[in-house]
Structure formats: structure tokens, C-alpha cells
Structure 1
Amino acid sequence: MSQESRISGIYGPGTYTDRTFVPVPEDTERIFRLLASETPGFTNDEKRLSKVKFTGEEFPVIPGPIKAISVAAALHAMAGVVADEILEIRGITDENREITVNTTHTGFWLGCVAVGYVEGKDILTLIEQKELTSRVPDWQKGWVDSPLKYRATGIYPTATPDVWYSVHGSMNAIETLETIGIDPNEPITSIDEAAEHIAEHTRKLTPEYMEMTNLLKGLCGSICFTPEQWNQSQMGKSLASHPFVNVKEQKHAIPTPPIAFPPFNPDDKRPLAGIKVVEITRVIAGPQIGMTLASYGADIIRIGAPHLTDLNLLQLTLNAGKRTIPIDLRKPQDAAILRSLVAEADVFVQGFRLNKMPKHGLGLADLLRVAGERGRGIVYVSENCYGPDGYYAERPGWQQVADAAAGSAYVTGRALDLPHGEAVLPSLPISDMTTGVVGALGALMALRDRATRGGSYYVHAALTAVDTYALRPEIGLYPRETVRECAERFQWAEMRGAHHVLDLLETVWRGWKRVLGTYLEEDGGWFQSFDDSAFGGRLSLLKPVVKLSDEESTPHWKTPSVPYGHASVESTKFH
């Protein structure tokens, strides 16, 4: 579909809408070809590209006009193509190998943090029945122990008509609430009352005031920009100067020779079997990088900082295939253990602000020096909110902030026809999850190149880059009629600006269960099950999105997810 066949402005300034609906698998094939052609270092071998097959329901299965499923499915397919290349490098050649990506499966994957079962109960039921707290260690530290704290992450009106602001409590909402003039201890007992109370305060503040206050205090938040405003901003332009899948060889580093992949273990023929990864991340995007690499066979040791808050829910899914250890980098003995693991690693994944790791001797320059000294290149993967450079590169941010900044929340609100310019988050942690596959794809490409050319590589994945790419005119948005048909089919519950991403995730899950319930049955073939887990019984996780036709090599996990900090620090070594 050409850019000329789209209508501009349907969902606001800087938006481009398809004139007619194209079935999701067919449109995903187009986007896959586009993205493949635009990605530096990605293959243009037609024989390899034609191995990819997209299947799935013709209609969209998530709310809104953004083609989040197609973008994510195209990226997963690209990861499958690179995995095919790596298998060939490792001696498993198959000209007839197929790479299948089901777009409906990809839609479920965007919500996979809550798509799973423990002892036959789905994850949201566990939360509703208050069983989750008895199955997982508590790393939340009371971040949502009151309605005000919970609603301190949401999109609210400002003193400027039709301009909304994404307030983000950043799992420590007290300072955020105080900044907008609210006593966190006020006796408010319902989340609806809390949302209105916060809105009463933000309506008195200009978006510029909130933005500057957050910048001065180092807090999270963003004005809900239109796509046009973001693209014309200096930060948007900085981001646009980089490819979406951003992999750069570090040619200034000490040269290192090509490094062959380790010999296959007879019991594991997955593409990354034997690759060692240290992951130091929080919440969703960074852990999703590691979870994806683990499904391709990598040995992942995930580092968690016990003094930092994380979401209890995520332990059930995002640690699949990993071992987890608690490390406090403020303690010299813990820092020494981590550095010893990094010295062995092929890949280092970090999800903190760019200047955090150098303070602990774990910055890009530090690890390039380690790689040079050992004579074996390293792949350094960073994910953040705003991008690798530009004046917001060091600013803290989460999925909700990125969705507001880059225009996704604005577009979603316009698609819902809400008054007064109300912005609403996309219904799932889309930018988080998709950033995860971007980072994993970059790591796969870098490992492929390290094996054939040598050297070390830097991979950067940014939340705002995901939002921006999906809003490009070449991708297009769904027509209003398609969005309405999707809403009628699934009967989504109300979606509003103040709703937390967990509220919206539950809304989507309920719609899926009504319409696509057979897909989501635990024994329906979409889940990988482990009879015994650290969470007290059988654990079933949504399978990886990519399926290779050779069963031995297709992505899967060898071990179930485990809690944060589950293994002993002293005894954890790479296999």
C-alpha cells in the first residue's frame, strides 16, 4: 500500500490512515518486507526472506488504530530469519526450514505478562482472588498500597484546554503526588475518587509547569504530544537519526577476531545454545530482551537489586529460561561477583539510564575494554525511554511516558472519540514488549556478525522508537470503521486516561476470553507448561512467537520462570 493511499489527519496532526482494511497477516508481510529493507545489516537474500510465513486471524485482536501487532510480528519474523542464519553458521543448514509467525499469537504475546496459568488458574484470577501474594516474594514495597499511589500513574488534564499530561509515580509515588500538591496520606478509599482528586490538582497546573518541575526533580512524566509535535521536536529528530533496529559495530574498540559459536550440546540445538548473557534490568522491556534470548537457547543470569522496587506479577512470566540472583552494586563483594560474570559473558543487557552503569564500571567503554583484554568481542545491549542520544537521553521514563511523548496516547484517545482531547494509553504494554524484541533482534544480529567478522557491538532499543515507528506514514493506521468493528466484536470495557496499564490489560483479557477463549485454554496448544515451578505447582506460559519447522531448534524454554533473586549469588555460574 503506497503512502498516497492514506488519509492524513484522521487521528490528529501527524497521523496517516489506510483508506481500506488489509487482513492482518497480509499487512504484516508488507511491514516485514519494509522493515527488513530499512534495517542496516539485515539480509536481502530472497530465499531466506521467503522462508517467513504469517498466519492468524484476519481481523485485529487489540483495541485502537495502531498496527502494534503487525510491527511486533514483523520484528519477531526478523529474529527468526537471523536465527536461521545462525543455525547455518553452526552447521544446521536447511533450505526448506520455515519460519512461522502467527499474528493472533503475537497479539496475546503483547499481553503475555498476564497470559499464563498457575495450577490451572489464569494470572488475573490469581490477582483478583489475592492468591498472587502467597506465591511470589514481595518486591513491590507498597508501591500501590493506596488508591492515590495506584492512580498516581495515569494521564490527566492540565490547565491548558485539550492538553493532557502523563503523570508517572515510577513505583514510588509519594514525591510525584507531593509535586502536584497532594498529601499522599489523604484518606481516599476508592481508585475512582483518587483519579478525580488528582485531576482536580492537575487542572490547575500548566503542562509546561509539570514538565519543568519533573525535569528539575528528576521525576518521570510527559506532555501527551501529537505525533507531529514529537516528530518536529529536537528529541524526535535525534531519535529519527538512528535506525529503528539500531546495531553498531564498535570499530574504535580493540580489534577482536571472529568468535565461533560454542559446540552444540546434543540435547540443545537452539540457535543461541551456549551463549552467555548477563541481564541487569527491571520491569518489562529489558527482561523481555532476556526472555526472548533465553527462548533461542541463551544461558541467562538475571541480576536483581533487592533495594529497588519491581512488579510481583512479572516474576511469573518474564523470568522464563533464566536464573536470577540478587546483587546490590553498592556492596563491593556483590559488585565483584557481577564483574566476574560479565567477564565471561557474550552479551550484556542493561535497562537503566545510560549513565548508571559507568558508575559501577559496567558502561559500554568499560566492557569494550574487558572484551579487548580477553580477545573476545562482546555485545552490549541498552534499552531506555528516549533513545541513545539527544537532550532527553538521560531522562527517566517508562512505557506510559514513551506512549505519551511520541503520540501513541494522543492517537488512542482520538480513536475513542473522547472529549476535550483526552489521551489514553494503548491497551497493552506494547512499547515495552516490542522494545524487548527489538533489543533481542539486535543482539541476534550482533552475535551473527561477531561470529563471522569479529568485533564488539552496541545495540540500543528505545520505547519511543517503537511508538514512533508504528505511527510512520509508511505503516499506516486502521480506518475508524475497522476500530469500531473491533470494539463491537470484543465489547471492550471503558478505557480512559486515568486507567493504569494493568486496568487496560484486564479489559483486553476479558474481551479475548469472550471471543477467542479457545485460543487461551491452557491445553489448547498455545502454552508451554512445566509441571513443577517455584510458584507452587504447574506453570503454563505463552509459547514464544516464532516457530521454526525443525522442532529441535524452534524457540522454547528449558526451565520455567522463577522468582526474583531465586538462586544463590555465590553458587551461580554460567553453564
Structure 2
Amino acid sequence: MGCELLRPPATSILTMDQDRLPDVYGPGTFTDAVFSSVPGDSARIFRLLASQTPGFTQDESLLSRVTFVGDSDPIIPGPIKSVPIAAALHGMIGLVAHEILSLRGVPNPRRTTGKSGDPAAAPTASRKVAINTNHAALWLASVSLACLDGESFSSLARQGRLRPMLPDWERGWQSNAMRLRATGIYPTKTPGRWYSLHGSLDQPPMLKEVLDIDADEPGIDTHADAASYIAAATQLHSPLELEMKNIAGGFCGSICFTPQEWCDSTMGRALARHPLVNVVPQTHGIPTGPVPFPPFPPKETFPLSGIKVIELTRIIAGPQMGAILSSLGASVIRISAPHLRDINSLQLTLNAGKQTMSLDLRDSSDRAYLLENLLPQADVFIQGFRPGVLDKYGLGLNDLLKMAGERKKGILYVTESCYGPVDGVYASRPGWQQIADCASGAAHVIGRSLGLGDGECVLPALPISDMTAGAVGALGALMALRDRATKGGSYLVHASIVAGNMFALSREVGLYSTEVVAKCKQRFQWGEMRGQHHVLDLLRTVLAAWERDDVVRELLREDIGDEGLFASWEKSAFGGRRLSVLKPVVRFRVAGLGQGEGEAELGVGPEWKTPSVPHGWSTKHDVTF
């Protein structure tokens, strides 16, 4: 049983899976009988995912360029193999970036020679894509791994000193306990069945229409009080009643399914027909020929140098796509809508390497500026809205295909959503990471792994499915840019948050055993994790445990310099303070015959050339493309 994901006929890669124990964490789950190290599993999942991804190379001479190193044991709570999957995706990103470098005439690595430090050709060397799985683990929490003047995000947040440093795009969405706890997992009238509520950063309408609760109810002062008050209201309704109320009101929400229930659902079956990395040539558009990559700027040979990206996104998944592309050299302009909320702290990390501006598409002059000044130059358009939402502004897929045909240069339309492509019955429903985790069964698995009673479901402890979707979208964009350069045409890239969970819960990937989960818990002594907890609560729980661990705490040091995992800029747009963020995971290495991983390759990235800036930092007059 379980989801039958789209995949090619069985190969030796697919038949190497370990035996799996069924239903350990609930119906439709598959648990490893034998433990594999994180780097070893990363290498296996890399080959597995490569074999399941249409258009990804199957050339062994290329696949063997990717190496995985790191500590053996997982450092994230729960049985889901989030780190090996993240590492595998970054390995694929690095390999396609290598293919693009070769297409652009940079086949030989460059490395430091002698004491001068001048880059020189190394004709006997080969480029390796090196993925450190410890780095990949921290990347899953990287939205909160920023430092200002050497002080960590978590320390500043604990002392209440982070908020005054950041421009306010939240506009009170977590101004009281009731509003924050409106996004959580709660019991229903049906014993053992839980429901995921989501306020979409604007909780009062959902609370009132679905639960008849006032978001500013007097006397609800603590988070515990708010959670109890909401739980009392949800327990008056069955899961289906809550689902219908949310659908009728146009709000987010999901029944907490088991993995098997989701796989058996109409939407689960529809999504399983698509590969995780979903790149679709748009053959119905006006034909356009191959588009060679532009000439490199002086002294720069990043894979995506000269590529121009427009990003209309919020929160994590879509901005992560743009951040990865900018680290590979693309010029990214992130556009935020002034009337839509975002999480303030994400400005520190997810805007690295980007220009940002604020445009209101409801305003004709702002819309014209985007359509007439920016989009005609763009190679990639990233959008994080539900299918069809942007059509009314002239930004739908067919609108951009028409533009691409008229300019005789194909475009890449990258879209991320909760439920996936438009052939699924839920495709147009609003959704976020939390909804995807509950719909797919991931929250059910975490709840079972914690040993909670009454079927309580709990989110994975980091924004894993959001981050995974970001990596999937960036990988799809890279593949489409490579293909546009050689075959021409325009491409649709779709990243589904639920699809990433489905892959993680599949039999071929497997889950960690209860013994491995217990060993990880013993090491880190995680704090309490419950259904009512917001993903921000769970993230803080993990960061606190990591900071108590000697090994991980050393990885989190931002003052090591080039040898560490953090990139720093002495002055930032955040009060002029020194800003440090986690470096990109992909590293290119120069290795000659018998040299192993080798030394770092120079001049090709990935790295962010500029620090993060707040949303809306540039204007129409000073943004450059």
C-alpha cells in the first residue's frame, strides 16, 4: 500500500531499498529495518530522486561527481528523513549548475595556486559537487539562523530586541495569544481526529466565521488559555464540518489525515501522477528557439550570471527559490505587495543577494511598470499564489507565454502552491506549510513518534516542507534554463508543498526507526512539542536544543570566517549592523585523480554577493535589472 508516485520502470537503484516495516507510525508508513547513516542515505536518495526526475541526467560520469559527507546520526526530531532529502536536492541543484557551467564554457575548475592566490586553470582536475549533510540540516532552520552584530536571532528574539530592528510587515498578525494560536492543530468532536486551522496571517475572519470566536476576546492572556479556548470550540464540530466551514469561507484548513488516507484520496492520487521535480515544456506557446546564456560579466563565472528573475512571493517556499538562484549568480528582484502581510524576521535571510521593491498590482501604474519595464527582460518568473490568482493582472501562464513568443525568447514560469498542479481537486484551495503537513500525513507521523494519545498530530519541528519546495522549484528552474539554452521553448515549473511530504513518506525513502528517534531525543532533550504549537514555537524548541549541544553549537558559530558555515557583511540595511546568514549548501570542489573531495573552487559560487535588505527597499527609480 501507500502512494504510487510517478516513476520510471524499476531499476537497480529502486530495488536496493532496505526492507521496510509497515505501519509503525500509522497506516501507510514504512520504517527502516536497518539504519543507514545520514550521508549514506543522502547518496541513496539522490540516486533515487535522480532516477524519478524526467530530464535529469542519468549519466554515471556526472552522477558520480556528487559526494555527501557529514555526521552519521540525524539531528532533527522525528522519523522523517528531511536532511537526506534536502541534501539530495542540493546535490541535484549543484549538478545541474555544473552542467550549465559546462554549457557556458567553464568546464575546468579554477583553484588557488601558489601564494598569490590568483585563480588558474587546473586541466587535470575535475569539479565535484560536495554536500555537507550537517550544513543541509542547519539549512532547514536557516530562516532563523541570522546574526546581527554577532548576536543570534534566537537570543535577540528571546530578549525582545529583534522586532525593533526590522521593518514591520506583520501588522499585528501575532499581536495577541489568540491570533497566534489560531494557527494550530486541534481536537474535534470525533474522538482521535484532529483538524489544522490556519489564520493566513489574518486570523479574525477565520476565527469568527468558522468557530464564532472573537480574536480579541477579553481575558485570554496566555498562549495556554488561547489554545484551550480554541480547542473547546473545535470540539463542537466534526472534522468534516470544520472542513466545509473553511471551504465555504475561503479559508485555509485541513483534516489531519494518515499517510494512507491521503494517498487514497482523490487529490492524493492526482498529485501522485506528477514527479516531485515537475518541469513541463509549454509546447502550446509560440515556438521560440534556443536562448544561449548571456556573456559573463567581467571577473564573474557563476552558473546563472546574467540571468534575470522576477519573484512575486511571500513567507518561505517561493523566496527560498529566489535565494538559491541568486546564490548561483542570477539577478533577482523580489516584489512584495504592500497590503499583504509577511513574517518580519524572514527579511534577514530570504532576501540575501536580491533587490526588493514594493508594487501593488491593483494600482494601474505599478502593474504597468511590472508588465512593461521588468517582465520583458525576465528569464524566470517565480510566483507563490494559487493557480489563476494572477491571471486578472495579466500575469497568468498564458499571458507570459504570449509575451515570450512576441519577444522570441522563452520564459520559465515557476509556481509554488500547497496542493500542486491544476488537475487536482484541491489545487485552487489556499494552503501553507502547516496545511500540507497535516493533509499529507506528516503531522500524524510526528504525533505518533512523540507517543501522544488520542491521535494528536504535531507539525514537523522545522519549516521542512516549505524549504523542500523551495529547493524543488530552484532545481526545476535550473533544469529549464539548461533546456531552454539547448532546445528552446518556454517551461512551467511547479513545486507542491504536499508533494514533498508525499516523497518523504514514500516506501522507497523510508522513515527512521523508533530507536533512532529515541536516540536523537536522548541526545538533544527536545522541549515539549504539541499540536497547538505554531511552527515558530517548534523552531525555537529545536534552536534551543541545538545551542545546548557542543557539536551543533560549534557549527552555529558565525565568527569562524571562510572556514565556517556563515557568510557575513560588516554593514547591513538593518540598522547598519553586521549581518551573518547561513551560506548556500552547494559547494564546488576541485579534485584531481586520487585527491578526494579536494579544495574549494573559486569564481563560480554559490555565494550571495550582497546582504539581505528589507522588503520594498528599492523604488522604480533605483532598481536595476
TM tier relative to shorter chain: over 0.9
Instruction: Give 2:430's aligned amino acid.
Output: P
| 1:303–1:326 contact (8 Å) kept in structure 2 | yes
Count of aligned pairs: 574
On the 8 A contact 1:155/1:164 being kept in 2, the answer is yes
Deviates more, 1:126-135 or 1:391-400: 126-135
* Residue aligning to 1:561: 612
Q: What does residue range 148-167 of structure 1 map to in structure 2 within 5 Å?
A: 148-167=178-197
Is 2:583 the partner of 1:534? no
Residue 201 of structure 2 is matched in structure 1 by 171
How many Å apart are 1:130 and its aligned residue? Answer: 1.9
- Contact 1:327–1:569 (CA under 8 A) maintained in structure 2: no
Q: 1:4 Cα shift?
A: 6.4
CA distance in 2, matches of 1:221, 1:127: 28
How far off its partner does 1:570 sit?
Answer: 3.1
The 5-angstrom pairing of residues 410-449 of structure 1 reads: 410-449=444-483
Alignment of 1:21-60 (within 5 A): 21-60=35-74
Distance in 1 between residues matched to 2:468 and 2:146, nearest whole Å: 19
Separation in 1, partners of 2:544, 2:136:
17
1:573 maps to what in 2? 624
Q: Which stretches of structure 1, 4 residues or longer, exceed 2 Å deviation after superposition?
A: 1-4
1:325 matches 2:357? yes
Distance 2:176 2:352 in 1: 31
Give the Cα separation in 2 of the matches to 1:540 and 1:571: 25
Between the aligned partners of 1:2 and 1:546, the Cα distance in structure 2 is 26
Aligned partner letter, 1:397? G
Q: Which position in structure 2 is the counterpart of 1:235? A: 267
- Percentage of pairs with the same residue: 55
SS at match of 1:48: helix
- From 546, 552, 575, give the equivalent of 2:586: 546
SS in 1 for 2:454: helix
Distance in 2 (CA, whole Å) between partners of 1:185 and 1:540 is: 37
Task: Determine the structure 1 residue equivalent to 2:334.
Answer: 302
Deviation digits for residues 188-234 of structure 1 (CA, Å, limit 9, x no counterpart): 11001111111111111100000000001100010010000000101
Equivalents in 2 of 1:238, 1:486: separation in Å? 35
Q: Matched residues in 2 for 1:551 and 1:39: separation?
A: 30
Q: Does the 8 Å CA contact 2:18/2:32 hold for their aligned counterparts?
A: no
Residue deviations 1:231-273, cap 9 Å, x none?
A: 0101001101111100011111111111111111123211001
- Aligned to 1:419, what secondary structure does the other structure show? coil
**1:456-507, Cα deviation, whole Å (9 max, x unpaired):** 0000000000111000000000000000000000111010000000000011
**Cα distance per residue 1:327-377 (max 9 Å; x no partner):** 000100000111120111000000011111111000100000000000000
1:2 positional shift: 4.5
What does 1:439-478 correspond to in 2, within 5 Å?
439-478=473-512
Answering whether residue 554 of structure 2 is matched by residue 518 of structure 1, we say yes
Structure 2 counterpart SS, 1:421:
coil
Question: Which digits, 9 at most, give the CA deviation of each residue in 1:4-39, with x for residues without a partner?
Answer: 611000000000000111110001100000000110
Taking the TM superposition and a 5 Å limit, the aligned residue runs for 1:352-367 are: 352-367=385-400
> Partners of 1:199 and 1:311 in 2: how far apart?
25
**Is the counterpart of residue 483 in structure 1 residue 517 in structure 2?**
yes
How large is the Cα RMSD of the aligned pairs?
A: 0.9
Map of 1:236-385 to 2, 5 A cutoff? 236-339=268-371, 340-385=373-418
Secondary structure of the 1:548 match is: strand
CA contact (8 A) 1:424 1:496 kept: yes
Q: Secondary structure at the match of 1:98?
A: strand
Report the 3-state secondary structure (helix = DSSP H, G, I; strand = E; otherwise coil) of the residue aligned with 2:498: helix
**Alignment-mate amino acid for residue 588 of structure 2:** L
Q: How far did 1:3 drift?
A: 4.9
Distance 1:181 1:485 in 2: 44
Please state how far the C-alpha of 1:127 moved relative to its aligned partner.
Answer: 1.6
Aligned partner (choices 227, 238, 245) of residue 213 of structure 1 = 245
* TM-score of the superposed pair, with normalisation by structure 1: 0.99
Q: Deviations over 1:511-570 (max 9, x none)?
A: 111111111011231100011100121000100000012221131000001100011123
Letter of the 1:185 partner, please give it.
Answer: D
Contact 1:341 1:573 in 2 (8 A): no
Partner residue in 1 for 2:159? 129
> Partners of 1:372 and 1:378 in 2: how far apart?
9
CA contact (8 A) 2:18 2:33 kept: no
Compute the displacement of 1:126 (Å): 1.6
Deviations 1:296-346 (A, max 9, x none): 110000000011111001000000000000000010000011112011100
3-state SS of paired residue (2:355): strand
- Counterpart of 2:380 in structure 1: which amino acid? V
Q: Please give the TM-score of this superposition, normalised by the length of structure 2.
A: 0.91
Contact 1:63 1:486 in 2 (8 A): yes
CA contact (8 A) 1:224 1:409 kept: yes
Query: How far apart are the structure 1 equivalents of 2:31 and 2:163?
Result: 44
Contact 1:326 1:569 in 2 (8 A): no
Q: How far apart, in 1, do the equivalents of 2:454 and 2:548 lie?
A: 32
Q: Is the 8 A contact 2:150 2:559 kept in 1?
A: no
SS in structure 1 opposite 2:127?
Answer: coil
Q: Quick check: 1:76–1:546 contact (8 Å CA) kept in 2? A: yes
Q: Which amino acid aligns with 1:282?
A: R
Separation of aligned partners in 2, 1:200 and 1:276 = 50
| The 10-residue stretch of structure 1 (24-33 or 516-525) with the greater mean CA deviation from structure 2 | 516-525
Q: Is the 8 A contact 1:400 1:425 kept in 2?
A: yes
**Which residue in 1 is equivalent to 2:3?**
none
Equivalent of residue 126 in structure 2, options 96, 99, 110: 96
| Residue matched to 2:594 | none
